Amino acid sequence: MASSRILELANDIGKFTSLIHDHLALHDLQFPSFNPDTPGTLPDELLKAQDAVLDATAELHDLLMPPISALHINGNAQNLVSMNAICRFDMANSFEPGEETSFPQIAKHAGLSEAVTKSLLRHAMTLRIFCEPKKGVVAHTARSVLFREPQIQNFISTGLEEMTPATLRTVDALQKWSLSEEPAETGFALANNTNKPIYKILGDDPVRAKRFADTMKVFTTGKGFETSHVISGFDWQSLGAATVVDIGGSRGHISIALAMQFPALKLVVQDFESTVKGAENDVPESVVARVSFMAHDIFKEQTVVADAYYFRWIFHNWSDKYSIKILRSLIPILRPGVHIIINDVCMPEPGMMAAWRVKELRTFDLGMLAILNGRERDAEEWKDLFERADPRFHFEGVTQPEGSNLAMIAASWSG
């Protein structure tokens, strides 16, 4: 029998799925399912096999689907309606996981007609959100129970009610401001009929601000964002008794972790005054003498003399124009040998990462464009950014800690 791409993919799916199955069985771990109590992730040692299966199944799916159907399914805004409705009308909290309910009962909870509720939920079921074990009976799945958690609800609502309108106006923004690097000349600005950047709009609306903050918490506390990757991703020990400035460090969770791991380090956390106010009260007593907070604007001249300056997930918010301003704000106080450590996404070279992960990163990239004119960068673009800021920045390269969503992008000041 002649070989073909679809047969190669089917063989890969079988091989790597068996590997996952055998590992889980050997260690008496729960198999993946859509049941509400199923763990959401696989063990780290299975991540490569997981990547292989997800990429192969996605490619096989796309090869066998008619092109016009693929465009319709992937590009249709109606796909978002059911998830938005589940959040808006709190449908997932209308009954408990492990229980069963009916469409009329959910409709009553939501204040919607039974017909509309049925349409919404049966669409959601195509996304594995809820299931219908027998006709007219609704039960939870591993995906629908996520909608019961307030932070996850806000995470989903931010995507649907902030990101989606901005995304749908991004091409309009590109047409209107074709070469703009300004954070207020975006799809978000057009969708909100404003000339202000997203931070100012959210700052004036506590409800939207809370929703967006919860979204960031979901991202930064999830798998791949653990502080352990920061600790292992740079040779902090080599700094000795050094001062590190954590710029844009929020309430200092990274600095606290570094202080606890490296007793010789002194950490200074800088952020907006409203962000750092009272943050010292949350610092563990064992490191409170070595972790301090101060208000600082990242575009203003740096005032703290330090051995290293650390930025976590800051630069992707900004276009090159403003990212260069951030780097240049350090220059007046830099001494030869000082380290600049950027903890941010580094986009992979083609073919160097699982396709499903690349798709997720590319989605983030367009999201930053839609709301802030920001962007994700690859290693060459990070190097170029330092060079454009000042040739005295010596680019030292990129380290991608195993299992981390963020890379450690390092440079030093040559003086």
List residues with catalytic annotation: 316
Of 139, 165, 76, nearest in space to 157 by CA = 165
Is residue 11 within 8 A of residue 60, CB to CB? The reply is: no
**Within a 13 Å sphere around the CA of 74, how many CA atoms are in the beta-carbon half?**
12
Residue 291 CA, distance from chain mean position: 26
Of 27, 68, 23, 69, nearest in space to 48 by CA = 23
Distance from C-alpha of 270 to C-alpha of 396, rounded to nearest angstrom: 24
Assigned token pair, 327: 């780097």
Q: How many residues are recorded in the chain? A: 415
